C-alpha cells in the first residue's frame, strides 16, 4: 500500500492544517500505540519536541492518544532529535516520537519516529500505522490504560552521551567557539557539552520563545554567526538547526564550511588514523569536489537519494559508518544511530585538535566545484518537476555540460518548493543554466 501521510522524514506541515491538527495527531498516536502494543504487550514510548509554540499542543494530544491505546509514555521536553533516538535505546523503549519540523519556520511542525534501535521506522511499520488511521478508534478499558511521566534527567543523560563520543580524557581547552543554537532544541544541552569538555563558548540564538526557532539564525541562516566569529576573534563557529540533527561551521576568517566539507574533514582524519570503516555515502546533491577529494584518498564514495534515511540505508547495506548531506546531516554510525549535529561537531574538533590544524586547513584538501541550488516556491513541485517542457530543457543543458557537470531537479520532500541544482566547472555557465531552469519552471507553473 502506498503511504498517504509519511514522507521521507515523518509527517510534516503547517500547524492547524491537515495533517498537523490536534484531531489527526490524536488518531496518529493512538495508531502508533496500537501497532507497538500488538500481542497484548504494553509498550513504552518516549516523546520529545523542539521549541515551537505548537509543541505544547501536539505533545499533549500525542500523550493522550498513546495512553488511550495502552502505552506508557515518558515525556522528555525540548530535546534534539538525535537525543530522542539515543534515549529510546537507553531506556529500552519500543519507540521514540519527535515533535519537530527541523529547519522549517515556527508555524510548521511535524511528527517523526524512531524504533527501539534508534532508527527511522521501516516502511512496513509506517504502512501498519497508516492502515489503522482508517479504522475507528477503539480505546483500552480503564484498567489497561497507559501512564505518563516526565524524565527529569533526560538532558543530563544526553550530555554525557555526547561527551562519551570522544576519547576519554579529551579536552577542548583552548578552543574559542561561537555556538548558534537557532533558538531550538539544542539550546540547553549543546552549551553544556562543549563547556564541560573545556571549550570557551560564546552563545548566540539560545533564547527560544516559541516563535523565533530558525528565524534568521542557525544552520540555514549562518550570516550572523559568520560575522560574530570575526568580531569575537573565535577559532570557529558552529550553527545547528532547530532540532539539532544538522550543522554547518564557520572558520576563523568567517568562511562557511558546509556538510560536504565537514564529512571530508572527518573522513580524512579517520583515514590518517586507520579508523575509516569502508567508504562514504553522500547524496545526489553532494558536491563533485567531495567525490574527487575522497577519491584522492582512496576512500570509496557512493550517492544516495536525498534524505538521511536513504543515506542510512546505503550505509547499512555496505557496512560503512560515515555519510551525510551538504545541508549538514552527518551520520557516524560507529557512535550513534542517526544524524547528530553535536556528535558530528565533536568529531571535527577532535580532528582539528589531533592534527593541530585550524578548520580552514582541515578542509583545504577539498576543492568545491561551482554548484548553484535554487529553491523555487511552487504549489505543485511534483507535477512541475516531471513536466515535459522542463524535462526537455534539462536534457538539452545536460547534453551541453556532458561530463563537466550535473543537473538535478526535484520536488522538496518537506516544503512546497522545486529544488534546482546545477553543478559544473564554469561558475558563470552554472548560474546561467540554473537561472534559465528557474524561469522555465515558473513560466510552466503560472
- The residues that are catalytic are 102
- The count of other CB atoms within 10 Å of the CB of residue 375 is 14
Q: What is the DSSP letter of 40?
A: G
Enter the C-alpha cell of residue 347.
568529531
Helix ranges restricted to H, 188-307: 189-196, 223-232, 259-272, 288-296
Distance CA 164, CA 41 (A): 33
Q: Are 414 and 381 in contact (CB under 8 A)?
A: no
Look-up: residue for cell 563558548? 201
Residue 256, all three cell numbers: 562557511
In our burial notation (b when 16+ CB lie closer than 10 A, e otherwise), range 14-37 reads: bbeeebbbbebbbbbbbbbbbbbb
DSSP lists the bridge partners of residue 212 as none
Question: Using the 8-state DSSP alphabet, how is residue 368 labeled?
Answer: P
By the 10 Å C-beta count (0-12 exposed, 13-18 middle, 19+ buried), 221 is classed as: middle
Amino acid at each position: 500500500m502506498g503511504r498517504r501521510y509519511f514522507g521521507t522524514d515523518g509527517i510534516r506541515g503547517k500547524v492547524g492544517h491537515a495533517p498537523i491538527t490536534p484531531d489527526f495527531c490524536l488518531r496518529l498516536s493512538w495508531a502508533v500505540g496500537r501497532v507497538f502494543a500488538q500481542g497484548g504487550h504494553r509498550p513504552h514510548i518516549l516523546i520529545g519536541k523542539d521549541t515551537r509554540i505548537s509543541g505544547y499542543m501536539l505533545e499533549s494530544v500525542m500523550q493522550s492518544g498513546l495512553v488511550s491505546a495502552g502505552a506508557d509514555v515518558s515525556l522528555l521536553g525540548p530535546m534534539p532529535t538525535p537525543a530522542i533516538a539515543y534515549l529510546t535505546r537507553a531506556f529500552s523503549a519500543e519507540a521514540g516520537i519527535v515533535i519537530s519540523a527541523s529547519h522549517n519556520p515556527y508555524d510548521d511542525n511535524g511528527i517523526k519516529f524512531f524504533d527501539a534501535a534508534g532508527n527511522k521506522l521501516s516502511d512496513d511499520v509506517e504502512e501498519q500505522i497508516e492502515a489503522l488511521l482508517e479504522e475507528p478508534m477503539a480505546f483500552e478499558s480503564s484498567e489497561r490504560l497507559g501512564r505518563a511521566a516526565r524524565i527529569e534527567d533526560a538532558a543530563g543523560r544526553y550530555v554525557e552521551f555526547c561527551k562519551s563520543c570522544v576519547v576519554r580524557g579529551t579536552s577542548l581547552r583552548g578552543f574559542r567557539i561561537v555556538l548558534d543554537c537557532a533558538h531550538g532544541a539544542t539550546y540547553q544541552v549543546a552549551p553544556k557539552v562543549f563547556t564541560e569538555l573545556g571549550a570557551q563558548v560564546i552563545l548566540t540564538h539560545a533564547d527560544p520563545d516559541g516563535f523565533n526557532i530558525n528565524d534568521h539564525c542557525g544552520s540555514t541562516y549562518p550570516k550572523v554567526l559568520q560575522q560574530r566569529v570575526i568580531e569575537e576573534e573565535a577559532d570557529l563557529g558552529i550553527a545547528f538547526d532547530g532540532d539539532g540533527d544538522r550543522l554547518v561551521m564557520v572558520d576563523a576568517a568567517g568562511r562557511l564550511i558546509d556538510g560536504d566539507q565537514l564529512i571530508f574533514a572527518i573522513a580524512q582524519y579517520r583515514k590518517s588514523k586507520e579508523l575509516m570503516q569502508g567508504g562514504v555515502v553522500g547524496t545526489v546533491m553532494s558536491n563533485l569536489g567531495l567525490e574527487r577529494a575522497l577519491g584522492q584518498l582512496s576512500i570509496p564514495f557512493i550517492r544516495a537519494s536525498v534524505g538521511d534515511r536513504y543515506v542510512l540505508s546505503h550505509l547499512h547495506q555496505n557496512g560503512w559508518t560515515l555519510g551525510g548531506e551538504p545541508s549538514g546531516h552527518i551520520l557516524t554510525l560507529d557512535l550513534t544511530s542517526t544524524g547528530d549535529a553535536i556528535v558530528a561537531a565533536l568529531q571535527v574538533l577532535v580532528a582539528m585538535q589531533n592534527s593541530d590544524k585550524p578548520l580552514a586547513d582541515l578542509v583545504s584538501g577539498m576543492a568545491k566545484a561551482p554548484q548553484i541550488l535554487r529553491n523555487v516556491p511552487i504549489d505543485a513541485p511534483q507535477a512541475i518537476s516531471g513536466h515535459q517542457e522542463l524535462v526537455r530543457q534539462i536534457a538539452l543543458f545536460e547534453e551541453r555540460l556532458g561530463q563537466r557537470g550535473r543537473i538535478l531537479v526535484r520536488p522538496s520532500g518537506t516544503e512546497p518548493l522545486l529544488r534546482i541544482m546545477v553543478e559544473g566547472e564554469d561558475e558563470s555557465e552554472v548560474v546561467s543554466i540554473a537561472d534559465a531552469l528557474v524561469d522555465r519552471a515558473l513560466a510552466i507553473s503560472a
